[in-house]
Structure 1
Amino acid sequence: MITDPNLILADLQANWLLYLAMPFVAAAIGYYTKVVAIKMMFKPLKFVGWRPFLGWQGIVPRKAATMASVACDLMMERLLKPEDVFDKLDPQRVAAEIRDPLIRAVEDITREVAAEYQPGLWESAPESVKNLLIQRIQNEAPHMVEQIMTDIKSNITRVFDLKDLVTSALVRDKELLNRVFLEAGHVEFKFIRNSGIYFGFAIGIVQAIVWAFTHNIWVIPLFGLFTGWFTDWLALKMIFNPKQPVRYLGLFEWQGLFLRRRKQVAARYGELVATEIVTPAAVIGAILTGPMSDRLFGLVQKQVQRTMDEQAGLAKPLVVFAVGSTRYQEMKRSVSEKVMQHLPETLTHMEAYAEEAMDLKNLMVEKMQELTEEEFEGLLRPAFQQDEWILITVGALLGFLVGELQVHAMIHFAVPVG
């Protein structure tokens, strides 16, 4: 411990440039440890290195399934339910939107099935008879679609798995998962980076003072470690705390940055979910090919068979006699399967209407405004919370290593005094 003021003053005068550099080096440590921490949260998307310990994968991509599940649980509990997606769709309007492609599909299906189950009879029938049969089925097809849509709305939780849609999209596309967190919290991540400069600079001033009084070789590395650790920890705390505005020392007021920006985050988060994840195309795809698609096939089969029986009318016994009862049942199932095969392309024609009718972006924003502070925090917090101790530890170690280099520079370049 140096207690002679004259020696301290002489050392400051002789090595003023080194002392002046200390706060700036500490600021650089604060900044770059934050940059590294943020990079480590999201990159790389896949594990790079040698498993199991020597290497790294971004925390968010590595925890994709867990984070997607957490986000989806909150979304389904408070923001969006399967009923919200479909309640605004009008079955008649849907039928009208897909009428033209539906009519073309019905003609193709009718010709394919008739040629398959009664090739001789169908080929020998006059074209006018074929066209009349096709037209009758085409006229009934929009009503069948209306009924199918009504059945879907009544059984939405049986045919549509919203959680599977969201989690599958985010786990499959880890870049999208990263973007959800990065774009919704871009201001918070910028704050983390820049806060390292200010906090680090302040700590660097204290570091310079302590070094002037001690010249202990452990001072600078330990301050580097402290700078890397403390600035990471404090920045994370300031993003989410306090949940309500609090005035400190009567001089300034602070509220967790993420909570203070609730409206802006709500708008961006809602937009991302509505335009990137729960889109009309994705919803239609999930219903047609998702884990509950077999139940949808049951609804379609019921309506197709009802329509065929009604169209057969008085001629049904003759049709059954001509093809046999077993073949008649097979024929109805074949029609149902072909309807399902044509549905993906047919339903694309209703996407513009569905997007307008569902209005998911405004619905999401409106619902998010109703969240409590704790629930709102749950949107972004998982990205920071998962293994955040690793990020803080890395920041501390980087700070220590830079401090070691700095102390060697101090010893090498410092001008001896006294």
Structure 2
Amino acid sequence: MSWLAWIDWQGIGADLRQHWMVYLSLPVASAIIGYVTKVVAIQMMFHPIEFIGIRPWLGWQGIVPRKAEKMAGMAVTTLTSRLISVSEVFNRLDPLRVAAEIEKPLMVAMDRIVQDVAERYGPGLWLTLPEFIKQRINQRVKADVPQIVDRIMKEIRDNIDDVFDLKAMVVNNLVRDKHLLNSIFWRTGRQEFKFFGTAGFYFGLALGVVQMVTWVFFKEPWILPAFGLIVGLTSDWLALQLLFRPLRPRRVFGLQVQGLFLARQKEVAEEYGALIADQLLTPQKLLEGILSGPLSDRLMEVIQRHVKQAVDEQAGMAKPIVAMAVGSRKYVEIKQLIADAILKELPQTVRHATGYAEDAMDIRNTLITKLKALSSEEFEDMLRPVFKEDEWILIAVGAALGFLVGELQVFVMLH
């Protein structure tokens, strides 16, 4: 005889009529579990920015900010290896145009530097010089500025990897500004994160219906927490699969399907390229990275060498006389002093060329174009590391929350 014959259908019917609202609450609660566990999981990825609690174990810090250096490294690997070449964008700068952009502030600085140096090594000498001689000196300096800038930029361009570390600059900026790091991952995948919560709701609702039917027949206390655990566990996994699988478009039951994040590649490319170009790879930040990065001492050596060479060229035939007048040692000191003074003025002076540099480098369009051309595997690498890193923690939290809510349901159903 079938086991169905042993079921008390009348008793079940009476129970359903009496407690129908309680039974209907099961799939609703399961849907809420599915949604809440996803929202909590997403929030745990990004928040809090700083550790809250008692270190090392009692507390929490968002996965992305907690592993900022590693996450930044993952983000920048795609950026530096597949999207942008420093030498490529630097080559777009015209040295003569840069010289023209910084000419006015540089001449103001040079006038002050020459006067300060002259006063230091020949007190009162500069003031006593006829005005036409001062003008001749300034005109000579002005005429030679484009040539000096051209020489410096060509050497930097030819040895860009020796004087600038793009990866170090990007990682340092993102580690220092965890809000920006969060923003890059969040804004890149915000639609997918919203789907993550919605998918959890519907997965939970479907499993809740199965949970309700199971409870109708068996009423075992372990059923509800077990289903809660399953909802929290499987809905996370299923939602992740829908975000990134299949990698390429496929036909399923006549419909074309693809991982939701991958299907938005063109849209994401536009926003990601704009975000990186406007907040991370700006001419201002590139300038700071070049002038104060880990390889900046090599750049300073290049600039100092060319400035000292320019001083010798400015002195021209009068160099032996000048050296004799002040002494060879003091002449070397003068060159060093001028070089140091120019280096000190350089950050403020070069900022006047950032507007031109932004247009010439065209980093935004470069990034967008190359992002759109990435393969599905390469594009997945932009966002997937956020989920892969400590993914088991997020799934475990979802399962634990589901289990606890299931226990609460048992208490409600049996009392």
TM range (shorter): over 0.9
- Is 2:303 the partner of 1:297? no
Check the 8 A contact 1:106/1:138 in 2, yes or no: no
TM-aligned CA deviation for residue 66 of structure 1: 0.6
Q: Aligned equivalents of 1:363 and 1:313: distance in 2? A: 45
Are 2:139 and 1:135 aligned? yes
Deviation at 1:251, TM superposition (A): 5.7
1:18-417 equivalence runs, <5 A: 18-248=22-252, 250=253, 252-412=255-415
In 2: Cα distance, 1:264 partner to 1:7 partner: 57
Give the superposition deviation at 1:120: 4.6
Give, as a single letter, the amino acid of the residue that structure 2 aligns with 1:339. I
Query: Contact between 1:165 and 1:278, CA under 8 Å: does it hold in 2?
Result: no
AA of the residue aligned to 1:299: V
Give, as a single letter, the amino acid of the residue that structure 1 aligns with 2:185.
F
Aligned partners of 2:95 and 2:146 also within 8 Å: no
> What is the identity, as a one-letter code, of the residue corresponding to 1:233?
W
Output the amino acid matched with 1:24.
V
> Identity over the aligned pairs, expressed in percent?
50
1:3 pairs, out of 7, 13, 38, with: 7
State the 1:9 CA deviation. 1.9
1:124 shift after superposition:
3.7
Deviation at 1:217, TM superposition (A): 0.7
Q: CA deviation at 1:402?
A: 0.8
**Secondary structure at 2:49 match in 1:** coil
On the 8 A contact 1:203/1:227 being kept in 2, the answer is yes
Shift of 1:301: 1.4
What is the root-mean-square deviation of aligned Cα atoms in Å? 1.4
Whichever residue aligns with residue 218 of structure 1, its letter is W
Rounded Cα–Cα distance in structure 1 between residues aligned with 2:331 and 2:222: 89
| Shift, 1:71, TM fit | 1.5
Secondary structure in structure 1 of the residue aligned to 2:251: strand
CA distance in 2, matches of 1:254, 1:137: 65
Question: How far 1:303 moved relative to its partner?
Answer: 1.6
Q: Tell me the distance in 1 between the aligned counterparts of 2:127 and 2:328.
A: 22
CA distances 1:240-282 after superposition (whole Å, capped 9, x unpaired): 111122334x264421111111111111111111111011001
Aligned-partner Cα distance in 1 for 2:97–2:142: 17
Letter of the structure 2 residue corresponding to residue 288 of structure 1: L
The Cα shift of 1:165 comes to: 1.2
Q: Structure 2, unaligned stretches of length 5 or more?
A: none
SS of the aligned residue for 2:180 comes to helix
| In structure 2, C-alpha distance between the alignment counterparts of 1:331 and 1:14, rounded to whole Å | 99
SS at match of 2:17: helix
What SS does structure 2 have at the residue aligned with 1:119?
A: coil
* CA distance, structure 2, for counterparts of residue 14 and residue 221 of structure 1: 23
**Secondary structure of the structure 2 residue equivalent to 1:49:** strand
Q: Secondary structure at the residue paired with 1:46?
A: coil
CA distance in 2, matches of 1:197, 1:344: 53
TM-superposed CA distance for 1:326, in Å, is 1.5
AA in 2 matched with 1:282: K
Q: Kindly tell me: are residues 16 and 252 of structure 1, through their superposed partners in 2, closer, same or farther at Cα, counting changes over 3 Å?
A: farther
Q: Quote how far apart the aligned CAs of 1:41 are.
A: 0.3
Partner SS, residue 53 of structure 2:
strand
Distance 1:78 1:126 in 2: 59
Distance 1:191 1:13 in 2: 36
Displacement of 1:123 after TM fit?
4.2
Code of the residue aligned with 2:148 in structure 1: it is M
Moved more, 251-260 or 106-115: 251-260
SS at match of 1:88: coil
Deviation string, structure 1 residues 61-92 (Cα, Å, up to 9, x no partner): 01110111111122111111111220111111
Deviation at residue 142 of structure 1 after TM alignment: 2.7
Count of residues paired in the alignment: 411
Instruction: Note the C-alpha offset of 1:410.
Output: 1.0
Structure 2 residue aligned with 1:416? none
Answer with 334-343 or 175-184: which moved more. 334-343
Query: Which one is further off, 2-11 or 267-276?
Result: 2-11
2: CA distance between counterparts of 1:375 and 1:13? 56
1:321 deviates by 0.8
